[in-house]
């Protein structure tokens, strides 16, 4: 059982986490949801299209203008409170690596801390434990936040992913984070080149076999773009193909930009796997 906020998700339930960036320079939407009104509209749309989790981020993942912890709190905490007021049952996640931000957003009503930089601030897990929040434990190859990989190498990339993410998950539980609220993430693109991310996808079953729920953040990333030689706005097909493979291999949570399209992919995989009945079944029966 995966338990996040007020929601419990069954073992075969494939869950969508919709991205809502509170940044003026996000790589995908260039700040389309930086202001409150369009950001709330995005939340409403994502929930209507099938997202159970809203992931709010206040700092662009890649290099860019420096954002202090105080500014990150300003961009996220008040918005978390407003989302909680407007959508009381939605699971609210915040994408941050800083414990100060984690404290502020949990106080405002966040259910999950999405630590995309692999425990670089070990106090973030302590905050999650204190508030009973969920935690995403990510492999980032030891990279510093907001840096790009440069000639990074691994003897065995999946072995490193397993060592780091399972270690972070076990530490989180030891600190008091509820076991049923901890997820592990291979960290596509983070501290990895394209071949590393492809191998992590190919071997995702090894992460699933650990028993920890696996979250994948694939949406329009560089490894998709490089694999197909496509710019950011032309990576949806590649992203959805990778999503289908990840779903078949057992990933549980999908952090995405395109919610409706992802929902269709996941529902189709679930039906092929025998975990979901077809929405309509008339063919050959009339």
> Which active-site residues does the annotation give?
221, 255
Q: Are 101 and 73 in contact (CB under 8 A)?
A: yes
Q: Are 20 and 42 in contact (CB under 8 A)?
A: yes
> Could you give the CA distance from residue 188 to residue 192 in angstroms, rounded to a whole number?
7
DSSP state of 26: -
83-100 core/surface letters (b: 16 or more CB in 10 A; e: else): bbeebeebbbbbbbbbbb
Residues, the chain, total?
Answer: 286
DSSP string of 174-218? HHT--GGGEEEE--TTTT--HHHHHHHHHTHHHHHTTSSPBEEE-
> Could you give the CA distance from residue 246 to residue 238 in angstroms, rounded to a whole number?
12
Output the CA torsion sign for 221, 227, 231, 237: negative
Q: Are 100 and 127 in contact (CB under 8 A)?
A: no
């Amino acid at each position: 059982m995966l338990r996040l906020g007020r929601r419990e998700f069954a073992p075969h339930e494939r869950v969508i986490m919709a991205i809502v960036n509170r940044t003026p320079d996000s790589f995908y939407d260039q700040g389309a949801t930086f202001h409150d009104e369009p950001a709330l509209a995005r939340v409403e749309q994502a929930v209507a299209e099938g997202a159970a989790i809203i992931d709010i981020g206040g700092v662009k993942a890649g290099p860019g203008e420096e954002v202090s912890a105080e500014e990150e709190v300003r961009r996220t905490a008040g918005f978390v409170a407003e989302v909680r007021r407007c959508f009381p049952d939605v699971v609210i996640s915040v994408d941050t690596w800083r414990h100060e931000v984690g404290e502020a957003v949990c106080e405002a009503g966040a259910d999950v801390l999405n630590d995309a930089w692999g425990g670089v601030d070990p106090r973030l897990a302590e905050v999650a434990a204190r508030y009973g929040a969920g935690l995403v434990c990510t492999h980032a190859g030891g990279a510093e936040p907001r840096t790009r990989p440069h000639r990074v190498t691994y003897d065995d990339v999946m072995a490193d992913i397993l060592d780091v993410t399972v270690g972070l998950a076990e530490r989180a539980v030891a600190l008091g984070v509820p076991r049923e609220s901890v997820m592990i993430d291979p960290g596509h693109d983070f501290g990895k080149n394209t071949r590393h991310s492809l191998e992590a996808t190919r071997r995702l079953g090894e992460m699933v076999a650990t028993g920890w729920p696996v979250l994948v953040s694939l949406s329009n990333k560089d490894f998709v773009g490089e694999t197909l030689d496509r710019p950011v706005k032309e990576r949806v097909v590649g992203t959805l193909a990778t999503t289908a493979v990840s779903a078949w291999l057992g990933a549980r949570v999908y952090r995405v930009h395109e919610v409706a399209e992802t929902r269709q992919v996941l529902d189709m995989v679930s039906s092929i796997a025998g975990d979901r009945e077809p929405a309509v079944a008339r063919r050959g029966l009339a």
